[in-house]
């Protein structure tokens, strides 16, 4: 990873990227930027490449849980360094991706992935990075998996729940459990 890694407590970088939002003719593409995050909790997850093997399992799982994010008043974005045209072709030809409810951001220039510090190796594809960003645009959680290991969407939701309590949450805490009260 690059030395300029964006971590917890950092402001999420400014961006404006082409994205695939639909497979309906004439409504396929839209620009997505920080403006789409303002005042909202945001989860942005990255995958290395379209038309691969682990990536669609993760994207499909995020999509299955889409209402779990919207129920938490959280916007969800997926991203890779592939172009919007490659994203669109993949959605058109992969049954699990046809009905995605969230945008697929195309960081074709790799500028956002580079600013985040998540480009891997000589090929400069993105690691499997996941960011939770608060309504003020501050990164509150980052998880980065190696290229060969898929992430756990339930864990992303658990951490989002914990962050949204704005309280002290112990190890393995899940929504509905007691939080901690400092004694002193």
Measured CA to CA in angstroms, residue 66 lies from 34, 72, 166 at distances of 20, 10, 23
Active site residues: 55
- How many Cα atoms occupy the beta-carbon half-sphere of 132 within 13 Å? 18
β-pairing, 104-106 vs 74-80, is: parallel
Q: Which residues are within 8 A (CB) of 67 and not within 5 positions of it... i.e. 6 or more apart? A: none
Q: What is the CA radius of gyration of the chain?
A: 16
Give me the sign of the Cα torsion angle 52, 145, 111, 66: positive
E-assigned strands of 12-135? 16-20, 29-33, 41-46, 74-80, 104-106, 119-120, 125-126, 128-133
């Amino acid at each position: 990873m690059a030395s300029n890694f964006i971590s917890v407590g950092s402001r999420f970088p400014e961006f404006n990227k082409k994205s695939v939002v639909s497979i309906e003719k004439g409504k396929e593409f839209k620009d997505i930027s920080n403006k789409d995050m303002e005042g909202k909790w945001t989860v942005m997850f990255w995958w290395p490449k379209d038309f691969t093997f682990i990536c669609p399992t993760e994207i499909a799982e995020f999509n299955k849980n889409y209402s779990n994010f919207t129920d938490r008043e959280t916007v969800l974005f997926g991203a890779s360094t592939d172009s919007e045209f490659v994203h669109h072709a993949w959605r058109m030809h992969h049954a699990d991706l046809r009905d995605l409810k969230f945008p697929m951001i195309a960081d074709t220039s790799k500028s956002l992935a580079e600013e985040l510090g998540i480009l891997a190796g000589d090929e400069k594809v993105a690691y499997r990075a996941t960011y939770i960003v608060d309504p003020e645009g501050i990164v509150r959680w980052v998880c980065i998996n190696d290229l060969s290991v898929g992430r756990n969407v339930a864990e992303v939701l658990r951490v989002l729940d914990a962050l949204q309590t704005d309280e002290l949450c112990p190890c393995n805490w899940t929504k509905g459990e007691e939080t901690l009260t400092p004694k002193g």
